Amino acid sequence: MKKSIVILDPFPRTLDLMFSKEKLKILKSKYQTITAPKKNKKNFYKKNIHRTTFIMGQPDLNKKLLIKATKLKAIINVESNFMNNVDYDYCFKKGIHVIATSPVFSKPVAEIALGMTLSLLRNIHNAHFDFIKGKEKYGLESNLNSTLLSEKKIGLMGFGDLAKSLYPLLLPFTKDINVYDPWVPKKIIQKLGFKSVSLNQMFRNCEIIYVLAAVTKKNQNLIDKKLLNKMKSNSLFILMSRAAVVNFKDLIKRVKKGDIFAATDVFPEEPVKKNDPIRKVKNILFSAHRAGALKTAFFNMGNIVLKDMELISKNLQPKHCKKAERKTVGLLISKPVAIN
């Protein structure tokens, strides 16, 4: 039986990053692979897309090119952000699956979000540095501003993969979970025992707010001073998804008031400049966009890609990668990943 052709075009990812040696052998034994060149990609796709079943990567694919792709079953975005470089309408019309490997990052990001939460609540990171400097405080004196996560009122902005990995980690501490996501029906949120709330309600009432939403044309800079100024004293603001959802200037001004605490894994420009003033802002716990970047997560990319390729080859629906959704994919505006 003739093998299906797979174009390999994963940049900025690499095959060694995504596939264990064993899984890479499976990929190459089951499929005929063709590696896309770094230069002259347009000509490469013009010559090869007509015989291709899978594209593993995120190249520019307009309608004119896709019309030639009569055998194409799936575009597998391993960069993990759906970008505005594919004619999604044509893909939906022709039944070409467009999927992304982003679910592999949800559990690692959720776990570090919990870790950052506990560190902020109990001042773990600052107590560590105080000890190194010989300025540590013992017992109650070191915990005068510390509080428990237990029974806290939680706000989840966004209820996609990240939130669905995070909330099970929070439930042993608190059942008071409030959700804002205009794309998720209230019934789904309420069925889980959570409250569907407005952003104003969330920022006014919740003690810990997690930003877990993808960035879209509709929510850029959505979190601004109007919302941030509603936050209670001693509350936490934890940004784990995309920096563009937040007006960072407003966030920094709010944190500088000294009565709230923040943690962020993402920044408006990355890498952050060495002299960026944000580095000197107190009350922020920093993480250099490393929350999801684990070897196990990247290898899991290869695992779920192979599983969904197997399903799609049998004319079944993919169920491991994230599917592009007709109502939202055209609104997404995430920046491409620059560093693995």
pLDDT grade, residue 5 (50/70/90)?
A: very high
pLDDT digits (tens, 9 = 90+) for 201-254: 999 999 999 999 999 999 999 999 999 999 999 999 999 999 999 999 999 999
pLDDT digits (tens, 9 = 90+) for 262-275: 999 999 999 999 99
For 14-42, what is the mean pLDDT?
A: 96
> In b/e form, how buried is each residue of 225-238, taking b as 16+ CB within 10 angstroms?
eebbebbeeebbbb
For 1-23, what is the mean pLDDT?
A: 96
Q: Do domains 5-101+295-331 and 105-286 have the same CATH topology?
A: yes
Q: Which CATH architecture has domain 105-286?
A: 3-Layer(aba) Sandwich (3.40)
| CATH, domain range 5-101+295-331 | 3.40.50.720
Of the candidates 113, 123, 100, the one whose C-alpha atom is nearest the C-alpha of residue 304 is: 100
pLDDT digits (tens, 9 = 90+) for 163-178: 999 999 999 999 999 9
For the entire predicted model, the pTM comes to: 0.95
For residue 142, what are the contacts with CB-CB under 8 A and spacing of at least 6? 123, 127, 136
Q: How far is the C-alpha of 174 from the C-alpha of 48, rounded, in Å?
A: 54
Domain definitions of the chain by residue range: 5-101+295-331, 105-286
